[in-house]
C-alpha cells in the first residue's frame, strides 16, 4: 500500500502524538491482519509512504531499501543559488539529543555513512528547487545534508533559518518544503517494476509560481 502523506501528520504515534498514519490505517481497516510501515517520513515531509500488508512484502522491501535497489526521490526548495547540476553529498551523520530532549542529527566524522545525490531542477533568484535522491536512509538525512552544504530547506524548523521560515509563514506557507515525490522499485512479491509519483502539494506549487513571478 502506498499513500500520499500530507505534511504535518506523523507516521506513527509517540512523542506527543497518540495517533499517526499507521494507527489511522489500522483503525480504518480492522479486517487487515497485518499493516506495517516500510519506512518513515518526518512529520513535516509530505509524499509517498509505503505500508506493507504482508510480512513477506515487508521483509522484501526492507532488503531492497537496505541494498539500495529502490529509488526514493524528493523535491526540496532550498535557500541559496544551487551551483552544480548534480552533486553527491556524503557527510557521515550521527543522532544526538538536545537538553530539552529533542532528537537531532548532525554531521560527525564518526557517524554513519550517508549518501544523497542532489540535482538542480530550477533557480528562483535566492532560492533553488532541487531533487534529492536517497542512497542511504538516515534520519533527517536530506535536511542535514542540505543544511550542512549551506542550502537549508525552506520552512525547516530544526535545521533551517528561522527568519526565512517566519517570512514564508507570514505569506501563508506554513510547512517545510520537502516532498517525497517518486518511488522506483520492483514489486516485492511479483518483481514487476513500479514507478510511483505524487505531484507537489498545492501549497508548494503556488509558492513556486509566486517565486517565478517575482
Q: Which residues are catalytic?
A: 42
Kindly tell me the number of DSSP H helices and DSSP E strands found in the chain: 5, 11
What is the helix, strand, coil percentage profile of the chain, to 5? 25, 35, 45
- 205: region left, alpha or beta (phi > 0 left; psi from -120 to 50 alpha): alpha
DSSP letter assigned to residue 61:
H
* Residues 121, 75 contacting (CB under 8 angstroms): yes
Question: Which H helix or E strand runs over 55?
Answer: helix 55-66
Q: Distance between CA atoms of 64 and 189, rounded to whole angstroms?
A: 12
Comparing C-alpha atoms, which of 194, 199, 178, 204 is closest to residue 38?
Answer: 194
Amino acid at each position: 500500500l502506498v499513500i500520499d502523506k500530507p505534511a504535518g501528520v506523523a507516521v506513527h504515534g509517540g512523542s506527543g502524538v497518540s495517533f499517526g498514519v499507521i494507527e489511522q490505517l489500522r483503525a480504518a481497516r480492522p479486517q487487515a491482519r497485518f499493516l506495517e510501515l516500510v519506512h518513515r517520513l518526518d512529520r513535516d515531509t509530505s509524499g509517498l509512504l509505503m505500508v506493507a500488508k504482508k510480512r513477506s512484502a515487508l521483509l522484501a522491501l526492507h532488503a531492497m531499501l537496505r541494498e539500495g535497489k529502490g529509488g526514493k526521490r524528493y523535491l526540496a526548495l532550498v535557500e541559496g543559488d544551487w551551483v552544480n547540476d548534480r552533486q553527491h553529498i556524503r557527510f557521515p551523520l550521527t543522532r544526538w539529543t538536545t537538553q530539552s530532549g529533542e532528537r537531532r542529527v548532525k554531521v560527525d566524522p564518526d557517524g554513519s555513512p550517508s549518501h544523497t545525490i542532489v540535482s538542480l531542477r530550477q533557480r528562483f533568484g535566492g532560492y533553488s528547487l532541487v531533487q534529492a535522491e536517497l542512497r542511504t536512509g538516515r534520519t533527517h538525512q536530506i535536511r542535514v545534508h542540505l543544511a550542512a552544504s549551506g542550502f537549508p530547506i525552506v520552512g525547516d524548523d530544526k535545521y533551517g533559518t528561522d527568519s526565512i521560515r517566519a517570512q514564508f509563514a507570514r505569506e501563508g506557507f506554513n510547512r517545510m518544503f520537502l516532498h517525497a515525490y517518486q518511488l522506483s522499485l520492483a514489486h516485492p512479491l511479483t518483481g514487476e517494476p513500479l514507478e510511483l509519483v505524487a505531484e507537489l502539494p498545492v501549497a508548494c506549487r503556488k509558492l513556486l509560481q509566486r517565486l517565478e513571478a517575482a
